[in-house]
Amino acid sequence: MSDTPHFPLSAVVGADDLKLALCLTAIDPKIGGVLIEGPRGMAKSTLARGLADLLASGQFVTLPLGATEERLVGTLDLDAALGEGRAQFSPGLLAKADGGVLYVDEVNLLPDHLVDLLLDVAASGTNLIERDGISHRHSARFVLIGTMNPEEGELRPQLLDRFGLNVALSGQTPPTERGQIIRRRLDFDSDPQGFCQQWAAEQEALRQRCQQARGLLAEIALDDRALERITERCFAAGVDGLRADLVWLRAARAHAAWRGARAIEEQDIDAVAEFALRHRRRDHPPSAAHQPQPSPAPSPAQSSPAEGQGQWGELPAQALATGARREVPGWPKKP
């Protein structure tokens, strides 16, 4: 880990929803990580780096877009396995991120097979490498943070659903907040050590709050009453699959622990609802207004064709819109 100080999360102006979502995943990594959407210049990477200070190891690992599968999962030395009878494992980025944060910038531009692989490992907490009948398994428990700019391409729906929480940042920041953001950034750039020391008390308080919430998490039951409310609202939102229900329940429990409560309450369910549903909610839920209406039955006078015209069961031709007439220019003939 680099000794270069990172901008403290407690000093970030605004982005309250994102800071809450990041803290919840630090409390319970089983939530499945956070996907951050927003335009360029919204400090997405700054917020993700600030999260590393709230975890036990503080490890922050970046997955570059050009990474190979071996660099991500690690490699096995088959020559050592055959000659010495042991599997020599070279750790990849997943092993280095164990206990910390794995950050993927522009995750929508990462190859799909790598995204699918790291999401599987993030969900299971274990990385398994197999090569020619030789396997190695190691712990890989980390908080997965992905960022993307929707203008540069969308993430496949199957992969989008695998992220636990989703937060969108607005590019329109009020002038007052913009001034505070710029001033704090200038202060940090001029004296990083001094700036971090100035915010050390707030950062330590945030770290202690996350640590206490992690200790309280196991005491909070995933009760049936909260699950019933969540499943009803997931059904009403028309989400596909059951991952939203599970993520929402875990996030609500983490929010209860964040408040220091001993049980999941309605306010916890409401606080994380948009995080769990935003990327899973159907844009156009089915409604009666969009259902095709049956044509009214024709009257006897209309259904009886005139004598000698057409045959039984024949329908009249339907008029088709052809659009505005386009004049073809008259080009002069060749001499």
Q: Point out the residues that are catalytic.
A: 243
**76: CB partners within 8 A, 6+ apart:** 87, 88, 89, 90, 129, 131, 134, 136
Structure tokens at 239: 């989400």
Helix H or strand E segment including 138:
strand 134-139
**266: CB partners within 8 A, 6+ apart:** 229
Is 101 in contact with 142 (CB distance < 8 Å)? yes
Long-range contacts of the stretch 212-216 (C-beta < 8 A, 24+): 212/260, 213/27, 213/254, 213/257, 213/258, 213/260, 214/26, 214/27, 214/28, 214/257, 216/257, 216/260, 216/262
